[in-house]
Structure 1
Amino acid sequence: MRSVDKKITIFTICLMLFGLLAFPALSGAWSRMVPANFSELAQQAKSGVVNIQTVKTIKGGGRVFRHFFGSPFGNQPGIEDFFSPFRQMPRNRTESSLGSGFIIDKTGYIVTNNHVIKDADQIKVILHNDKEYDARIIGADSVTDLALIKIDAKDLKPLKFGSSKNAQVGSWVVAIGSPFGLEQTVTAGIVSAKGRIIGSGPYDDFIQTDASINPGNSGGPLLNMDGEVVGINTAIIKSGQGIGFAIPSDLATSVIDQLKDSKRVSRGWLGVSIQDVSKEMSEYYTLDPDEGVYVAKAYEDNPAYEAGIRQGDVIVSVEGVKISSSRDLTLTIANLRVGSKVDIGVIRQGKNKTFTVKLGERPDNSEDSQFGEELNSFDDLGFMFKSLNEDLAGQLGYPSSIKGLVVTQIDPGSQAAMSGVRTGDLLVEINHKKITRLSDYTRTMGKIEKGQTAHMLFRRGNSQIFVVRFEK
């Protein structure tokens, strides 16, 4: 027994020695992974974060009034028209909203979201020391939901931008803002994912984070552990607690610089209709997986066509950088300077070619673009769309007065393929909401949660109207 006890004692001593040696190392590694606290970072950054309060005028009572004080008989045909001459609509009323922002310049330039200050009659900025200033809008970009405003102040303490490219998934980040009007609220989390597409527009490229973001955080900074801005907090998922999205700093800085210099944003433009390369097309053109974008059409008198790019070409690179998807090409070209000359690598009939294209300006905000907006890759239902313009309406036999999205392609095997919808059909409504532009479509579909139903109203030709039910 004594020999056994001796062996146990020796084993116990060895185990204790191992613990003394190992656990400090493990403890040190863990302390390097998890910050002891965020107080120093919060203290350093708080002077650069602001609370934004806006006041806007809502005409005729607005949507809320119409919702609560509509016809007492519901939406019965003719009833609304009967009562409308006798209804006294209320006078214009004011509506207040809250948001956040951050200082980028000692002289008073402040970055926030476009939706925070859009249509505002009055914008008030409150600093961390409770000083208040009236702000004016320098410029805004609805496509990326960014805005630049300015206050008349001096010796402010701006925050510095970092590179969102260097913000790795899993790295610590801190959000500072005014959720629900609670100023200088600090929350911490990690970068959960990058490159998220949430259906807000053609330049979706969001950073996903689990740092708590709530209404009022919009426009506030997402900071790395060096106190640098790597994102602008912008959106949340209504049903997803703890999931927030931020505009990457690398995308934001180019937009903000243009707003500061010229009060507007211009983006590069090739003038092509494009689509992702399918597996079959990849085999046909002998391409690597996720390589290239197919040119469905190169429009005459536009940059790509004038440089020599034609329908059937597969764009594989821009300035030597690999292109793997339609979204990839759209973002790359949009971030290049209008008028700059870029080398576009293509594969034509199995041979590599390079064309030098002088970029034009993308007609993002043109309601009557000769091409119309296009959804150049299949959506979740299996559709590709193009907004109806005058030329397209004439080709398809639709009256020029009708607005909507034309189905240009349908993905085989998708919900769309099994629905009976054909190419050339015109989408005009989703769940009784009119759809005239791609932004209407992405916004409306983005509000429909997984498992819910989208009722789509289509028109075929001059007379046939039909409804198709899709489950998202």
Structure 2
Amino acid sequence: MDDPWTAALSARQPPPPQGPPVAPMPSMAPPVGPPIAQLQSPNPVVTDPQARSRRPWRLFVVAIAVALVAGLFGGVVGSRLASSPAQPPTRVSLAPASGGNGTALPRADGSIASIARAVSPAVVSISAESSGQGATGTGFVVSPDGYVVTNNHVVEAGLNGTIRVSFPDGSSERATVVGRNPSYDIAVLKVPRTELATVVLGDSAAVVVGDTAVAIGSPLGLEGTVTAGIISALNRPVTTGGEAETSFINAIQTDAPINPGNSGGPLANARGEVIGVNSAIATLGSGAGQEGSIGLGFAIPINQVRRIVTEIIETGQSTTPIMGVGVDNDFQEVGARLRSVVAGGPAERAGLAVGDVVLKVDGRPVADGTAFVVAVRAKAPGDSIILTLKSGSSTRQVELVLGSTTSGP
């Protein structure tokens, strides 16, 4: 039976879509990496193993060819030098490198080095441990008085144990959980410090495909690791987590390498502003020989994170938008068919009925139940949305005001 108002669209996880498994990044004791996420995407192209085995042979042939040519050339030159009179050595004066004395050249604004320099002082490593089990991940400081943002799946292992935050200078503090929202895979920690370096939050709505993307974190416990790439895609429907606590992410996709331990760390733009929280990766699977980064990483847009974090810091809780419906996970056609409608909920008040198929949310096509939930979670409670529905043989549009449910500490 659906729980009125708290059944956020569907408490059941839709069947995993086809494509590479996407996971929250595991962590480093072990590294809490990205959870392997589920997403709608084609199967990855796997390199032909035969082509891979031929490559060393080709390199070997090239190396032999170079050695033979060098030997022949050396013999000819050597014979000529032997018959020529000795020449006095030429004296060369080399100018010192610009800057001299090991001084680094200035980096242009927008360079990877300048982005790393701006963001890294506010990036921290996080370890969570309880009952002999633990995990590690990444976080970033959002206020000078000690509030730290990370993924919910990074801190879960320490909810009944110990969570520690390590700073770039090597010092560390025990942290408390201020609040968390598993639906968005976001958690906020507090450490007893002041005057901390903080990140600058950007505007994820202004991000476009092709923008510079820089990920900073602690993959496999290697603190302060910087990787770079571009924004590969936007609005990727990604789910992570288990049946009990599934996160639905309207993700930013990037090819900046993200690995286990990067979870909860910042994804920054060319201005050094944080535009997302690194949360999940797609892999080829354990049987494919590559379980780390394959250039498919996913981050939670910072505009969603900003709302949730603000609510948690102010109240210790955060809200999640809901419609008061259940989704039919067995529906095989395009769209999301409603399995149930909660009495008195937003959907019923707007005139939705069991059997209606949601085709679009605010003009955004809905491929399946997961895409539907993600599209709604990208909004905020109280937002008005336009649904395009198929009811029987007819299509109609309905305006609906989203309700809310609350996530506690």
Residue equivalent to 1:324: 366
Is the contact made by 2:127 and 2:136 (CA closer than 8 Å) also made in structure 1?
yes
Of residues 242, 245, 249 in structure 1, which corresponds to 2:293? 242
Inter-CA distance 110–196: structure 2 relative to 1 (3 Å threshold): same
Inter-CA distance 310–57: structure 2 relative to 1 (3 Å threshold): closer
Paired with 1:356 and 1:195, the residues of 2 have a C-alpha distance of: 22
Is the contact made by 1:254 and 1:335 (CA closer than 8 Å) also made in structure 2?
no
Percent identity, aligned pairs only? 31
After TM superposition, what 4+ stretches of structure 1 lie above 6 angstroms from structure 2? 349-352
Report the residue type matching 1:245 in the other structure. Answer: F
Residues 1:262 and 2:315 aligned together: yes
Paired with 1:98 and 1:312, the residues of 2 have a C-alpha distance of: 44
Q: How many residues align?
A: 285
Inter-CA distance 364–273: structure 2 relative to 1 (3 Å threshold): farther
Q: Secondary structure at the match of 2:300?
A: strand
| Higher RCO (CA 8 Å, separation ≥ 6 residues) | 2
Report the residue type matching 2:309 in the other structure. Answer: I
Report the residue type matching 1:117 in the other structure. Answer: V
Is the contact made by 2:359 and 2:390 (CA closer than 8 Å) also made in structure 1?
yes
RMSD: 3.5
Inter-CA distance 340–226: structure 2 relative to 1 (3 Å threshold): closer
Residue equivalent to 2:345: 302
Inter-CA distance 349–51: structure 2 relative to 1 (3 Å threshold): closer
Paired with 1:204 and 1:364, the residues of 2 have a C-alpha distance of: 16
Paired with 2:126 and 2:406, the residues of 1 have a C-alpha distance of: 31
Of residues 156, 159, 165 in structure 1, which corresponds to 2:196? 156
1:85-141 per-residue CA deviation (whole Å, 9 max, x = no partner) reads xxxxxxxxx344322110111221111111221141222222222332221111112
Residue equivalent to 1:215: 260
Q: Secondary structure at the match of 2:256?
A: coil
Q: Secondary structure at the match of 1:147?
A: strand
Inter-CA distance 47–36: structure 2 relative to 1 (3 Å threshold): closer
Q: Secondary structure at the match of 1:173?
A: strand
Alignment of 1:42-57 (within 5 A): 42-54=116-128, 56-57=129-130
1:250-298 per-residue CA deviation (whole Å, 9 max, x = no partner) reads 332232223223323322222234469x99x8xxxxxxxx7x6544543
Is the contact made by 1:202 and 1:327 (CA closer than 8 Å) also made in structure 2?
no
Q: Name structure 1 gaps, 5 residues minimum.
A: 1-33, 59-93, 282-289, 366-472
Shift of 1:188: 1.5
Residue equivalent to 1:100: 138
Is the contact made by 1:267 and 1:333 (CA closer than 8 Å) also made in structure 2?
no
Report the residue type matching 2:112 in the other structure. Answer: F
Inter-CA distance 180–334: structure 2 relative to 1 (3 Å threshold): closer
Of residues 116, 140, 155 in structure 1, which corresponds to 2:154? 116
Shift of 1:159: 0.9
Of residues 97, 112, 116 in structure 2, which corresponds to 1:38? 112
Q: Secondary structure at the match of 1:267?
A: strand
Shift of 1:171: 2.5
Report the residue type matching 1:258 in the other structure. Answer: E
Inter-CA distance 155–38: structure 2 relative to 1 (3 Å threshold): same
Paired with 1:112 and 1:364, the residues of 2 have a C-alpha distance of: 16
Q: Secondary structure at the match of 1:231?
A: strand
Paired with 1:40 and 1:261, the residues of 2 have a C-alpha distance of: 33
Paired with 1:324 and 1:268, the residues of 2 have a C-alpha distance of: 17
Alignment of 1:176-255 (within 5 A): 176-200=216-240, 201=246, 203-236=248-281, 237=283, 239-243=290-294, 244-255=297-308
Alignment of 1:59-458 (within 5 A): 94-120=132-158, 121-200=161-240, 201=246, 203-236=248-281, 237=283, 239-243=290-294, 244-274=297-327, 293-315=336-358, 321-325=363-367, 326-338=369-381, 344=387, 346=389, 355=398, 357-362=400-405
TM-score by length of 1: 0.52
Paired with 2:180 and 2:406, the residues of 1 have a C-alpha distance of: 16
1:302-338 per-residue CA deviation (whole Å, 9 max, x = no partner) reads 32223322245454665x5445344444234334444
Report the residue type matching 2:303 in the other structure. Answer: D
Paired with 2:293 and 2:384, the residues of 1 have a C-alpha distance of: 43
Is the contact made by 1:138 and 1:150 (CA closer than 8 Å) also made in structure 2?
yes
Q: Secondary structure at the match of 1:205?
A: strand
Is the contact made by 2:214 and 2:269 (CA closer than 8 Å) also made in structure 1?
yes
1:377-403 per-residue CA deviation (whole Å, 9 max, x = no partner) reads xxxxxxxxxxxxxxxxxxxxxxxxxxx
Inter-CA distance 342–127: structure 2 relative to 1 (3 Å threshold): same
Inter-CA distance 206–327: structure 2 relative to 1 (3 Å threshold): same
Paired with 1:337 and 1:208, the residues of 2 have a C-alpha distance of: 22
Q: Secondary structure at the match of 1:260?
A: helix
Paired with 1:198 and 1:315, the residues of 2 have a C-alpha distance of: 19
Paired with 1:36 and 1:357, the residues of 2 have a C-alpha distance of: 42
Report the residue type matching 1:189 in the other structure. Answer: G
Paired with 1:189 and 1:139, the residues of 2 have a C-alpha distance of: 32
1:8-35 per-residue CA deviation (whole Å, 9 max, x = no partner) reads xxxxxxxxxxxxxxxxxxxxxxxxxx99
